[in-house]
A and B are shown apart, each in its own frame.
Chain A
């Protein structure tokens, strides 16, 4: 942090009393420097979050007139709602499947892209393309491709067990497509993270391993993978939180269907707020989602030892 932040002006600058002065002496930025960022974050993240916490106690408020506190009816309904239980199960499935699909491929491509092979730069650039496309464009493109009557699905379907091309119209097919399209879009991003991580691994480790007679596979499993421990955590936290809150792909590709087969928590929240106009219930759901994803990220950071900030190269 100290490396990146510009040093505050030395002695001649007008001094302030109190902790700010001491902070200046140790070369850390004053708290006031964070003020614009903090204000922005308060105004556009914390305040809305608190407001939706408030709305979640306002019952069935439809956005007309002013909201009034009525108690925890929406939270009670949230606990009892079988649709939400199904959405929770589905969101977990989507998250786990996305992680299983994206991590191995992104890891392998990332480690490969960290090397110095021929055509590496060109191919890396090609792999990167999906990330610079908009989610909307990607979802609409795949929706057109997967149309059972006029899209490629009619031709491809029979090969993968959908004789009539009804991939998006079957619960499992629709879920699989969400995992696939989301993965196709975000894998380049995680590839990039892994590429950066793999570049950081000191060459001498590989040289030492080579002297010991370790082959490429052994080097990958005994050096690259352990050294990428923190990178895997970073990428996984991003992936898990991203899948928990992923919305556009569901909205545009399946709209939660067929029926409610792909109605994830975030889509259910949207539906409750902007289709059914039940802002109270949607706020309860949204607040729950915030708590859940925060808890999950904290757990993952704690569980993987990422939080203790121990270097992967200790003792070197």
Chain B
């Protein structure tokens, strides 16, 4: 169908030529599709399973694992990469349809609770008591993916604790201490503010980055039991004194300019907060460990030379342990109970315990959650950061899953919105507490 041959042919009405071209193209396309369909369905043994994963910079690690798995498996794995921001709604829609995935990425806890309640997931508790899963992963990480003590998820990505990142060059310039105590943090806030540097970068317009502040403050003030109570359905936990104190502390932090003045229109998803820290416009950021790989990509020199990390400080008068961690313990694969190839699906999730997959994750900047991760840490791109992160999680008396993931989505997402309203000064402490209590009540009543 080149223009050359068309020109050589005797003059014909344009319509005819166009029609023939269209026909040829359609036929060719149809043939291609047919061939593709044939090759995938006629594979030895027949059939395939569909795996949904969250699309971001690390998806190629999963793709490689799938390719390796397919080399030996009769039933092939088909990895579907769903754009990150669309992941949850798309999964929800697919799980209700006949085109549901056999295996899918999730955050454990509340993110799979509705599926567990509807009997849509395969209970993997028995699989974790035998090889290859037995003893393969850190028990606390496996437990964080469980619902009511039953295991439904196999860890498939590294741990993501929330870390206090800071710019050590700026701290040295103004002679400041590491911000791992409340007083050092306060001193840093007032000094940076006086010198026109934003103390903390905060992507508040996405709401969830602000929630991290509440999570850590409540833990440091009242310990992990405050939120555990809420998670177990005690709505009075929202007006626990620790919650009120934490919210009050946030208000004073905002008032003293800890987040600058433009945080309500600064986002994290669009890289704004990361860029503020990476370019020295902000001195600190409270963020999940994944931000390190963002800095490494976007502000390589900063990540390698000037970026430092520490734990969230203890709050004076608080009873919480300063070694507690919040964040995402890991991501998990769960298996759809309606899968037609259960043995392949189980074999695929068990493949995550393979040393080759663990090494691939480590090389990609993830601290894995396998039992033998400690011995492999020297191979991590930045061993100091890897060691810090691993120690932080290993020593933590409690690792709290992010609240918006731990609660059912019908409470977790309104929580994000409410936190956004609180940081924007649209609701008071008492209104925040009553709003959240009634949101949780109306969720459990219907």
Residue of A73, A147, A174, A256 with most chain B CB atoms under a 10 A cut-off:
A147
Residues in A whose Cβ lies below 8 Å from that of B423: 259
Report yes or no: A276 in contact with B409, Cβ–Cβ below 8 A. yes
A residues engaging B (CB < 8 A)?
59-60, 62-65, 70, 73, 77, 143, 146-150, 164-171, 174, 255-261, 271, 274-278
Chain A residues whose CB sits within 8 angstroms of the CB of B263 once the complex forms: 169
Shortest Cβ distance from B275 into A: residue = A150
A157: nearest residue on chain B (CB-CB)? B262
A171-B424, A259-B427 known; 19 other A-B pairs, CB under 8 Å?
A62-B410, A64-B92, A64-B96, A64-B118, A64-B120, A65-B96, A73-B446, A143-B270, A147-B270, A149-B281, A166-B262, A168-B265, A169-B266, A257-B264, A258-B264, A259-B423, A271-B413, A275-B409, A277-B114
Partner of A149 from the list B96, B272, B421, B442 (CB cut-off 8 Å) is B272
Chain A residues lying within 8 Å of B93, measured Cβ to Cβ, are 63
Check B266–A149 contact: CB distance below 8 A.
Answer: yes
List, in ascending order, chain B residues with CB within 8 A of A70's CB: 446
0/1 string, B245-263, CB within 8 A of A gives 1: 0000000000000000111
Closest partner residue, chain B, to A154 (CB atom): B262
Closest residue of chain B to A276, judged by CB?
B413
Complex CA distance for A259 and B427, rounded to whole angstroms: 9
Complex CA gap A147/B276 in Å reads 12
With beta carbons under 8 angstroms apart, the residue of B95, B262, B417 that contacts A169 is B262
Given A63-B96, A255-B205, A257-B205, also A277-B424 (CB < 8 A): no
Q: Given A149-B272, A259-B426, does the pair A278, B264 have CB atoms closer than 8 Å?
A: no
Tell me, yes or no, whether B224 is within 8 Å of chain A by CB. no
Supposing A261-B424, A276-B409 touch, asked if A148 and B265 sit within 8 A by C-beta, the answer is: yes
Q: How many residues of B contact A (CB 8 A)?
A: 40
A275 adjacent to B272 (CB under 8 Å): no
A277 partner, pick from B275, B276, B410, beta carbons under 8 A:
B410
B209 at interface (Cβ–Cβ under 8 A)? no
Q: A62-B410, A166-B262 are in contact. Are A261 and B281 (CB under 8 A)?
A: no
Report if B161 contacts A (CB, 8 A).
no
Contact with A along B71-93 (1 / 0, CB 8 A): 00000000000000000010011
Interface status of B420 (Cβ within 8 A of chain A): yes
Question: Bound complex: CA of A169 vs CA of B203, how far in Å?
Answer: 11
Closest to B427 in A: A259
Q: Is the CB of A60 within 8 A of B446?
A: yes
Whether B234 sits at the interface, judged by CB under 8 Å, is no
Residues of B contacting A65 with CB < 8 Å?
96, 118
Neighbouring B residues of A164 by C-beta, 8 Å:
261-262
Asked whether A59 and B446 contact (CB < 8 A) given A65-B118, A149-B276, the answer is: yes
List chain B residues, Cβ under 8 A from A258: 204-205, 264-265, 420, 424, 426
A-B residue pairs in contact (CB < 8 Å), sample of 29: A60-B446, A62-B114, A63-B96, A64-B95, A64-B115, A65-B118, A146-B265, A147-B272, A149-B262, A149-B266, A149-B272, A150-B275, A164-B261, A169-B262, A169-B266, A169-B424, A256-B417, A257-B207, A258-B204, A258-B424, A259-B417, A259-B420, A259-B424, A260-B426, A276-B409, A276-B413, A276-B414, A277-B89, A277-B409
Given A169-B265, A257-B264, A275-B413 contact (CB < 8 Å): yes
A147-B265 in contact given A63-B93, A260-B417 (Cβ < 8 Å): yes
- With known contacts A64-B120, A260-B420, A261-B426, A166–B261 Cβ distance under 8 A: yes
Provide the residues of chain A in CB contact with B118, threshold 8 Å. Answer: 64-65
Given contacts A60-B446, A258-B420, contact A278 B410 (CB under 8 A): yes
Please give the distance in Å from B439's CB to the nearest CB on chain A: 9
Instruction: Check A271–B417 contact: CB distance below 8 A.
Output: yes
Residues in A with CB closer than 8 Å to B114 are 62, 64, 277
A contact face: mostly helix, strand, loop, or mixed: loop
In the docked arrangement, what's the CA distance between A169 and B204, Å? 10
Contacts of A255 in B (CB 8 A): 205-206
Contact B443 A60 (CB under 8 A): yes
Docked pose: A59 CA to B410 CA in angstroms:
13
Q: How far is the CA of A274 from the CA of B88 in the complex (A)?
A: 8
Q: Which residues in B have their C-beta under 8 angstroms from that of A146? A: 265
Assembly CA distance A192 to B414 (angstroms): 42
Contact yes or no, B266 A148, CB < 8 A: yes
A169 & B205 in contact (Cβ 8 Å cutoff): yes
Contacts of B261 in A (CB 8 A): 164, 166
**Which of B92, B118, B281 is the most central at the interface, judged by chain A CB atoms within 10 Å of its CB?**
B92
| Residues of chain A within 8 A of B120, CB atoms compared | 64
B265 CB to closest chain A CB (Å) equals 3
A148 touches B96 (CB 8 A): no
- The chain A residue with its CB closest to the CB of B86 is A274
* In the complex, chain A residues whose CB is within 8 Å of the CB of B421: 259-260
The residues of B that contact A275 with a CB separation of less than 8 Å are: 89, 409, 413
B267-284, CB < 8 A from A: 270, 272, 275-276, 281
Interface pair A63/B410, CB less than 8 Å apart: no
Distance in angstroms from A136 CB to nearest chain B CB is 13
Residues on A with C-beta less than 8 A from B413 are 271, 275-276
CB distance from B18 to the nearest CB of A (A): 25
Chain A residues closer than 8 Å to B205, beta-carbon distance: 168-169, 255, 257-258
A168 vs B272: C-alpha distance in the bound complex, in angstroms? Answer: 14
CA distance A169 to B266 in the complex (A): 8
Nearest-CB residue, chain A, relative to B89: A274
Tell me the smallest distance from the CB of B414 to a CB of chain A, in Å.
6
Point out the residues of chain B lying under 8 angstroms from A174, CB to CB: 265
Considering the chains assembled together, what is the distance between the CA atoms of A141 and B261 in angstroms? 23
CA distance A277 to B113 in the complex (A): 13
Pick from A60, A167, A260, A261: contact of B410, CB under 8 Å = A60
B411 CB, nearest partner CB in chain A, Å: 9
Complex-state Cα separation, A170 to B442, whole angstroms: 30
Scan B108-121; emit 1 where CB is below 8 A from any A CB, else 0.
Answer: 00000011001010
**B264 in complex: contacting residue of A147, A170, A260, A274, CB < 8 Å:** A170
Q: B265's contact among A63, A167, A256, A271, by CB below 8 Å, is which?
A: A167
B417 neighbours in A (Cβ, 8 Å): 256, 259-260, 271
